[in-house]
A and B are shown apart, each in its own frame.
Chain A
Amino acid sequence: MPPSTTPQTEAPPPKSPGSEELAVDLHDVRKRYRGKIDALRGIRMQARRGEIFGLLGPNGAGKSTLVKIMLTVVRPTTARGTILGRPIGTQSVLGRVGYLPEKHRFPVYQTGRQAIEFAGAMCGVDAATCRRRADELLGLVGMSDWGSKKVSTYSKGMLQRVGIAAAMVNDPDLVVLDEPTDGVDPVGRKDIRDVLVRIRDRGTCVFLNSHLLSELEMVCDRVAILVQGEVAAQGTIEELTSESRRYEIEIGGPPPEWAEAAGLRVSATSDAGAGTTTLVLPSAEADAVQPVLDRLRTDGRVIMVLRPVRESLEDLFMRYVQDPETGKAKAPGAIRKARASKGGDA
């Protein structure tokens, strides 16, 4: 049955285990745009309070649509779940949410301070608190000296900093940041990362949408990878990369004869002279590598390097967005014509 064109958010969301800790608890979020384009195809996602949650995905995977549905900017076709314990689409809960959209645009006639105070007032924060918070937040994002200047005079990085401050003015329990470090220099990025960690440490859930995987890897407690409108993977970086965790042992000389029987894989062998060999033990446990090391020593082999190896977030990301058959990146976007879906998913 095709999804209805009217939003269906009335159904009581199923409770996830430990749901009181969840800032974002989504079940079966779908969005079909006109022209029967499925942007989201049943998203299930949880982000906890007091964690930085990274949302990854190639262009057009549906990240922005998902974020906009959470913030009522886009109406879902169907959506079950909660934001801060209230059903998706509940207007009042937005007073406890901070949001920095991608390519946000403050009115040119506002100063940085006015932009922050206006955002606070729109969240129902009283004027005195807005003023006090604006002072604090301008300091926090390193914009104290620029608060009374018009935003039209700001650089991209300064706009991002003020945008983050505006998203924080209502002291939110959930902060959704879409590409917060876009256009920010490396020093600024470090500052922003520090700010995010401080926000997280106060018990706020930071929901981060970014393309900069290395940035995310540095700050995110948990991530979800969105591919073609579906969650391809979700969990801590540790969990997601656990399968790829292994030990690499570089030894002098050719591979030992017993290597295969001991569960070792020969990764590389050098040709020159006596040469070196790299053995791979597919285990994350340090205990598992000890017998191998003992046996190598017994054989009189020189152990040159021993290193634990783990997939980077970028490797993980590429693993999910690449088509395993062709080795090429999957078709960009979540776009899937309904007609195509009749014959099978695109």
Chain B
Amino acid sequence: MRQTAALFLDAYRELNHRRLFWITIVLSGLVVAAFAAIGNDEEGLTILHWSIPFPFVSTNFIPRADFYKFTFAQLGVGYWLAWIATIIGLVSTASIFPDFVDRGSIDLMLSKPIGRARLFFTKFLTGLLFAGLQVTVFTLASFLVIGLRGGDWEPWIFIAVPLVLVFYSYLFAVQAAIGLVTGSVIASVIGVFLFWFVISLVQTGDGITLAWRITNEITSERKVSRVERQESRVTALSARLVDLRLAAEDGDAEAVDQLPELELELVDKEERLETIMLELADEIETLEQSRSINGWFHLVNTCLPKTNETIDLLSRLLEDHAGLMRPAAPADDTVRQFGEMVGRGEFQERFDAELDASHGPFWILGTSLGFEAVVLGFAVWRFRRRDF
């Protein structure tokens, strides 16, 4: 316990020594100050004592507390914590493990009565102190702003602390492993940003191919309905034609007159059916292709940590528990997606349902933490076996 406390105290000293830590804290303070400076009233947006007439953000449209919570979730978490503070954090903590394994420094640590695995994990946790302190200070300040300015003391805001920390830990685990193996600060900075870029591409690819798949499912189902309708039309026409032929054979002159026209119509409808069936075959082929590609993307995404989706999960939790404004339901119009016209409402409903089914909280956090465990497991295995 003394050793753990000493390592944390030393990590605090190290953070204290790093200017970037304080720069980020000051910037966080500025972001929260800006957050406190803006507000909304009956007219629209307010900045300090100035009022800017933006009716769509007025208190008639969005209550003041919701305005602050929405700003916290969208700008505070979505941009500041998930991007800017994380980038600064990763740059700031990049040297922790390379410095740790540096010759002359590592000897001093390994010659103490502490196991290598414990030493590694404690060092990893001390590295998370950076993100932990940043996100806690920012969230606490935001909580106060929302309470004091918006009049809503919303404890669910603090869900941002563990989720942003978990999000940061995915990346820091990769950075720690690279730093440990290479001993290079540059390699760990470049490596982690490259990794972040790649997983962002995979997550985006998973989302886009899912949208493509759902669009294809909608259009295929629509095509199937058309085929079914056309088939029933052909069946009805065929039955009518049979009746007409029987009538014509019985000498019904009117039936004899109608027969050629109906035969032509049947041929036309059969040709149309054939065309639609060919189109359906194409649709199904495209659907299978989209399912396959989405399946691959989803598989790869499952194996990797989900940074964007963890932040999206935070937004969803804030919507569900902190009374955060939900985006307005999409209008029931049609939009062109992947070259097909689909109903916006229908698409969104099916897309959300699919996300709930295949991208649930347990999948997002469980698989991401699983990846992190594998990376940390590899790093600690390497650390335990290595001679310094």
Binding site for B on A (CB under 8 A): 33, 68, 71-75, 91-95, 97, 99, 101-110, 114, 118-119, 121-127, 166
A97 / chain B contacts, CB cutoff of 8 Å: 111
**Interface residues of A: mostly helix, strand, loop or mixed?**
loop
**Interface residues of B: mostly helix, strand, loop or mixed?**
helix
Contacting pair A73 B385 (CB below 8 A) = no
List B residues 243-264 near A (Cβ within 8 Å).
none
Of B2, B105, B111, B114, which one neighbours A105 at CB under 8 angstroms?
B105
Task: For B99, give the chain A residue with the smallest CB separation.
Answer: A107
Q: Mark contacts of B98-116 with chain A using CB atoms, 8 A cut-off: 1 yes-contact digit, 0 otherwise.
A: 0100111111111111110
Contacting pair A99 B111 (CB below 8 A) = yes
Given known contacts A73-B387, A74-B388, A110-B13, is B3 in contact with A124 (CB within 8 Å)?
Answer: yes
Contacting pair B2 A114 (CB below 8 A) = no
Of A71, A109, A118, which one neighbours B111 at CB under 8 angstroms?
A71
Q: Shortest Cβ distance from B56 into chain A, in angstroms? A: 50
Interface core residue of B112, B385, B388 (most chain A CB under 10 Å):
B112
Binding site for A on B (CB under 8 A): 2-3, 5-7, 9-10, 13-14, 16-17, 99, 102-115, 385, 387-388
Contacting pair A122 B109 (CB below 8 A) = yes
Contacting pair A109 B16 (CB below 8 A) = yes
Report the separation of the CA atoms of residues A71 and B5 in the bound assembly, to the nearest whole angstrom. 23
Contacting pair B2 A125 (CB below 8 A) = yes
Report the separation of the CA atoms of residues A109 and B16 in the bound assembly, to the nearest whole angstrom. 9
Of B2, B103, B105, B111, which one neighbours A72 at CB under 8 angstroms?
B111
Contacting pair B110 A73 (CB below 8 A) = yes
A93 / chain B contacts, CB cutoff of 8 Å: 113
Report the separation of the CA atoms of residues A106 and B14 in the bound assembly, to the nearest whole angstrom. 12
Report the separation of the CA atoms of residues A119 and B10 in the bound assembly, to the nearest whole angstrom. 11
Given known contacts A107-B99, A110-B13, is B3 in contact with A73 (CB within 8 Å)?
Answer: no
Contacting pair B13 A123 (CB below 8 A) = no
Task: For B112, give the chain A residue with the smallest CB separation.
Answer: A122
Contacting pair A107 B3 (CB below 8 A) = no
Report the separation of the CA atoms of residues A320 and B178 in the bound assembly, to the nearest whole angstrom. 44
A74 / chain B contacts, CB cutoff of 8 Å: 387-388
Given known contacts A72-B110, A92-B113, is B104 in contact with A101 (CB within 8 Å)?
Answer: yes
A105 / chain B contacts, CB cutoff of 8 Å: 102-105, 108
**What 9 A-B pairs come out closest when comparing CB atoms?**
A121-B6, A109-B17, A105-B104, A101-B107, A71-B111, A122-B112, A95-B113, A94-B113, A99-B111
Task: For A109, give the chain B residue with the smallest CB separation.
Answer: B17
What are 29 A-B pairs at a CB distance below 8 A?
A71-B107, A72-B110, A73-B106, A73-B107, A73-B110, A73-B388, A74-B387, A74-B388, A75-B387, A94-B112, A99-B107, A101-B107, A102-B104, A104-B105, A104-B108, A107-B14, A107-B105, A108-B17, A109-B17, A110-B10, A110-B13, A114-B13, A118-B6, A118-B9, A119-B108, A119-B112, A121-B2, A121-B3, A122-B6
A166 / chain B contacts, CB cutoff of 8 Å: 108
Task: For A96, give the chain B residue with the smallest CB separation.
Answer: B113
Task: For B10, give the chain A residue with the smallest CB separation.
Answer: A118
B13 / chain A contacts, CB cutoff of 8 Å: 107, 109-110, 114
Given known contacts A107-B10, A118-B6, is B112 in contact with A123 (CB within 8 Å)?
Answer: yes
Report the separation of the CA atoms of residues A73 and B388 in the bound assembly, to the nearest whole angstrom. 6
Q: Shortest Cβ distance from A235 into chain B, in angstroms? A: 27
Contacting pair A91 B115 (CB below 8 A) = yes
Q: Shortest Cβ distance from A56 into chain B, in angstroms? A: 21
Report the separation of the CA atoms of residues A95 and B115 in the bound assembly, to the nearest whole angstrom. 12
Contacting pair B2 A71 (CB below 8 A) = no
Report the separation of the CA atoms of residues A107 and B115 in the bound assembly, to the nearest whole angstrom. 21
Q: Shortest Cβ distance from B5 into chain A, in angstroms? A: 7
B9 / chain A contacts, CB cutoff of 8 Å: 118, 121
Task: For B116, give the chain A residue with the smallest CB separation.
Answer: A72
Report the separation of the CA atoms of residues A68 and B104 in the bound assembly, to the nearest whole angstrom. 12
Q: Shortest Cβ distance from B364 into chain A, in angstroms? A: 37
Report the separation of the CA atoms of residues A277 and B233 in the bound assembly, to the nearest whole angstrom. 136
Contacting pair A91 B14 (CB below 8 A) = no
Task: For A110, give the chain B residue with the smallest CB separation.
Answer: B13
Of B108, B114, B387, which one neighbours A91 at CB under 8 angstroms?
B114
B3 / chain A contacts, CB cutoff of 8 Å: 121-122, 124
A101 / chain B contacts, CB cutoff of 8 Å: 104, 107-108, 111
Of A75, A106, A124, which one neighbours B113 at CB under 8 angstroms?
A124
B16 / chain A contacts, CB cutoff of 8 Å: 109
Q: Shortest Cβ distance from A84 into chain B, in angstroms? A: 12
A108 / chain B contacts, CB cutoff of 8 Å: 17
Q: Shortest Cβ distance from A55 into chain B, in angstroms? A: 16
A118 / chain B contacts, CB cutoff of 8 Å: 6, 9-10
Contacting pair B5 A121 (CB below 8 A) = yes
Contacting pair B111 A124 (CB below 8 A) = no
Of A95, A103, A122, which one neighbours B104 at CB under 8 angstroms?
A103
Report the separation of the CA atoms of residues A93 and B99 in the bound assembly, to the nearest whole angstrom. 26
Report the separation of the CA atoms of residues A57 and B98 in the bound assembly, to the nearest whole angstrom. 31
Q: Shortest Cβ distance from A310 into chain B, in angstroms? A: 37
